[in-house]
């Protein structure tokens, strides 16, 4: 039905699309195309080497009307220049595009965060694939027009999991490998007259990527000059990625279940954006609040390592839960609901958080009705002050804004609670060093800054060592 509605909307003629200018992270000012009817769907449209001009403008308007969706026009040269200017060892466009999508939806007052779709032309088409191959779970779907499996420029693309680009420093070009699976739908539109990115090469590449679908178009070259020759395929491809995302969303929703049957079903009765990683024979349960980027690769790595050491995790997705401001009392009440359910298992409880979550958790625990509930507290990269709403300022890479909630003061008030605090050696905002030397405080500094240079396993291993110290096997005490 969704695909039919999109095609019907296109056939009815183009509606009036409003054009706005917003300031977005990394790229600065960008043109945003807004359809006349309210929508909770966002598309990031990546240009080719020519920047945000000419043909991609009409494509963006077409996507805004057809989806319908809010479409942000992103200049590929600006993205590339920002990556070069950052002077990092490599470029991770998936993370940057995710941040841009979050800021876009926040500024346009989306009622909740939804994963954006990606569309790209030429070099932008290749960047769409690079983002999906590295972190497809961060996006709802993608479409590439004029895709080539290589990308010029510096710095090189960052490797991630099975995505391992091969960079040739002499040519200043990265060859992108096909990944076995992309969890969302990736549509590839290929012109049969394209001599820049040949149909044979594109077909062969896409055939090796799980989740890829290729549509060929007669009479279409790399320039996509005549919309009559590619428009129908574009509309159908857009409809297909929107439909596939809707089907995935429905399938992912938990089924209603009666309370009292088991921990997972009881937790699903709570109206909270939870992520669960439950093990068969847990020795403890960690109640965790993620960073403001939502459920990221860091969080996944951490809870997987804990699960391998028999610790279950019940996590709150910050990006969804704190999309709108939450009073601290409400957060405490919701945490108590989780405690009530998890305590039925008669297992010791741990509390913890990363970044935003590590700042919130000490504030929430510093109240009489939650003291004595937890066996330990895990704080990862906590800053100086806590806020209770995700903010665009963090995504725009500005200095952290102070709030009345001083994390170090609340952490010090949790006397008798073992606290593990880990931060990067170059993380100048962390309060871990301020807790050093205090009783029952385990402070660890690891290489890197706020994100530990991607060495998430070291953070997980350090957290496991803390759990082993406070909850030695065979001597588990329940608070």
Q: What is the pLDDT of residues 379-434, one digit of tens each?
A: 999 999 999 999 866 554 445 567 889 999 999 999 999 999 999 988 888 999 99
Sign of CA dihedral 94, 100, 105, 109: positive
> 120: Cβ–Cβ under 8 A, 6 or more apart, which residues?
45, 46, 47, 76, 126, 127, 128, 142, 143, 144, 145
Strand 274-277 and strand 311-316: the pairing is antiparallel
Give the pLDDT confidence score for residue 251 in this predicted structure.
62
* DSSP, residue by residue, 296-338: -HHHHHHHHHHHTTTEEEEEE-HHHHTSS---HHHHHHHHHHH
> 264: Cβ–Cβ under 8 A, 6 or more apart, which residues?
276, 278
Q: How far apart are CA 225 and CA 204, in angstroms?
A: 25
* DSSP, residue by residue, 361-386: HHHHH-SGGGTTS-SEEEEES--SEE
Domain ranges for the chain: 2-252, 263-470
Q: Which residues pair with 30 in a beta bridge?
A: 22
155-212 pLDDT, tens per residue? 889 888 889 999 998 888 999 999 999 999 999 999 999 999 999 999 999 999 999 9
Q: How far apart are CA 330 and CA 90, in angstroms?
A: 41
Q: Which residues of 21-35 are buried (b: 16+ CB within 10 A; e: fewer)?
A: ebebbbbeebbbbbb
Give the pLDDT confidence score for residue 89 in this predicted structure.
83
* DSSP, residue by residue, 54-75: THHHHHHHHHHHHTT-EEEEE-
Strand 405-406 and strand 419-424: the pairing is unpaired
Largest CA distance in the chain: 73
Contact yes or no for 128/118 (Cβ under 8 A): yes
Question: What would the two tokens of residue 132 be?
Answer: 């999906």
pTM: 0.83
CATH topology of domain 2-252: Rossmann fold (3.40.50)
Give the pLDDT confidence score for residue 1 in this predicted structure.
54
Query: Reduced to 3 states, what is the DSSP secondary structure of residue 201?
Result: helix
Q: Which helix (H) or strand (E) holds 45?
A: strand 42-46
Question: Which residues in the chain show pLDDT less than 70?
Answer: 1-15, 250-261, 392-401, 474-479
> 294: Cβ–Cβ under 8 A, 6 or more apart, which residues?
113, 317, 318, 319, 320
> 172: Cβ–Cβ under 8 A, 6 or more apart, which residues?
152, 153, 154
Domain 263-470 has CATH 3.40.462.40: no
Give the pLDDT confidence score for residue 12 in this predicted structure.
47
Q: How far apart are CA 185 and CA 182, in angstroms?
A: 7
Give the pLDDT confidence score for residue 451 in this predicted structure.
77
Helices 55-66, 227-252: inter-axial angle, 10-degree rounding: 40
């Amino acid at each position: 039905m969704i695909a039919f509605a999109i095609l019907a909307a296109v056939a009815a003629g183009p509606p009036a699309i409003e054009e706005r200018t917003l300031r977005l992270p990394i790229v600065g000012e960008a043109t945003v195309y807004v359809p006349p009817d309210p929508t909770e769907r966002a598309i990031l449209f990546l240009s080719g080497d020519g920047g945000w001009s000419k043909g991609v403008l009409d494509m963006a308007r077409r996507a805004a009307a057809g989806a319908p969706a809010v479409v942000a026009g992103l200049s590929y040269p600006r993205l590339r220049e920002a990556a070069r200017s950052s002077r990092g060892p490599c470029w991770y466009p998936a993370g940057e595009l995710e941040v841009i999508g979050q800021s876009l939806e926040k500024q346009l007052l989306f009622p909740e965060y939804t994963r954006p779709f990606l569309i790209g032309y030429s070099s932008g088409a290749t960047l769409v694939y690079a983002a999906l191959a590295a972190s497809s779970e961060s996006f709802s779907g993608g479409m590439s027009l004029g895709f080539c499996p290589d990308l010029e420029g510096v710095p090189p693309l960052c490797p991630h999991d099975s995505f391992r680009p091969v960079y040739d420093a002499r040519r200043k070009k990265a060859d992108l490998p096909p990944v076995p699976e992309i969890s969302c739908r990736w549509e590839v539109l290929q012109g049969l007259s394209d001599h820049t990115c040949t149909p044979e090469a594109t077909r062969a590449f896409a055939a090796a990527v799980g989740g890829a679908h290729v549509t060929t178009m007669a009479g279409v070259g790399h320039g996509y000059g005549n919309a009559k020759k590619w428009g129908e395929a574009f509309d159908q491809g857009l409809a297909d990625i929107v439909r596939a995302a809707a089907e995935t969303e429905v399938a992912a929703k938990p089924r209603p279940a009666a309370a009292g049957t088991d921990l997972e079903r009881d937790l699903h009765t709570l109206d909270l954006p939870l992520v669960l990683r439950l093990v068969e024979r847990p020795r403890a349960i960690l109640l965790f609040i993620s960073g403001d980027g939502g459920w990221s690769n860091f969080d996944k790595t951490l809870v997987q390592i804990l699960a391998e050491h028999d610790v279950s995790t019940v996590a709150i997705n910050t990006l969804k839960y704190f999309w709108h401001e939450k009073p601290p009392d409400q957060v405490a009440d919701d945490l108590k609901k989780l405690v009530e359910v998890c305590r039925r298992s008669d297992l010791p409880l741990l509390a913890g958080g990363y970044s935003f979550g590590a700042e919130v958790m000490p504030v929430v625990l510093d109240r009489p009705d939650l003291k004595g509930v937890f066996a330990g507290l895990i704080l990862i990269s906590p800053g100086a002050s806590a806020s209770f709403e995700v903010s665009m300022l963090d995504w725009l890479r500005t200095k952290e804004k102070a709030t009345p909630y001083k994390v170090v003061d609340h952490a010090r008030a949790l006397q008798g609670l073992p606290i593990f605090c880990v931060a990067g050696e170059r993380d100048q905002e962390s309060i871990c060093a301020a807790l050093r030397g205090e009783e029952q405080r385990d402070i660890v500094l690891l290489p890197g800054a706020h994100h530990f240079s991607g060495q998430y396993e070291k953070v997980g291993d350090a957290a496991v060592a803390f759990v082993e110290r406070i909850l030695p096997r065979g001597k588990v005490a329940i608070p």
